Structure 1
């Protein structure tokens, strides 16, 4: 599997962990599997990818776990904040990771994975039971893409956050107190959060991989 990784690899740790028959990482390998974890992105927005290998003489990659970490800073801390995780296929936005799992993206506003108050959040978006390319191919097929594994091509993962600033909260309060809008409050909150994320560029591509070889 050819990987095209983002420029910032913050840390790499090689360790050993048990892999059992009922493990989310795959089958029964009768002992231990080798794992290697690497962080990609920045200190505030990053992805930790854990490669999981079997314990054979020639270890083979059997799964990959991915956790997204988002750590808002500055004015966003303590404010209503939306956290986003997206996936692109062949450099086109294809899906969002949400509170109920992966959803196909077509157009319009992004759906966040969670809404909080500007604190740090972590989301495990791939559980390690498959490689990244296998998991993406399965999601594409289940969501109507109809691609086989080799047809996925390049895959990009994005993460970011946006918050509703105090002045926008004041605007919302006035609108709803005066009954000057029929837009649901949550929708308007997400509109302001996404707009702020795009304007402040508090998002980035955290990982990219070439799945055209079918791994």
Structure 2
């Protein structure tokens, strides 16, 4: 069956977006369209459409005389993202604690199990960290709240920012959050997630730059 131009554009969009989130295309990197089209095995037409969609989502931007580059976040922008996270994710955690099925809580706990033995692989931990926070938001039982994250592209921005603090520092915080959720202590779980996110925000405020891990 012949693939339409629209489907090709959507496929290209998903592939390039994945490359940006996984940092195969780095923040500030110039996108050379001919090279990227060759790498993806597509023509430049669907790639241009894909780049237009990504620019509309503020994941890339066109700069006169420089070309198309991957979006870089300033410290101020990252702090603003964290302000949104703290407000929305703390409520999501409260709702998750009150409403989540036991199987969802068990899955949250299982994400952390591989890292309790020490010798943490940072990339693997970053994937687990991302899934941990997404699970709290997606399974909180409030579709409007989840849609706010989606429409504001917050989940993608969070993935692009990555880890702010090392795993050795945040693993225990994650475990404490899961413990509070297991005991259905919504007040404690909400306060723990606020403190967890605020520590990262304060580090960015203090350094004035993004300490990528």
Greater strand fraction, Structure 1 or Structure 2: 1
Q: TM-score normalised to the size of structure 2?
A: 0.26
Greater helix fraction, Structure 1 or Structure 2: 2
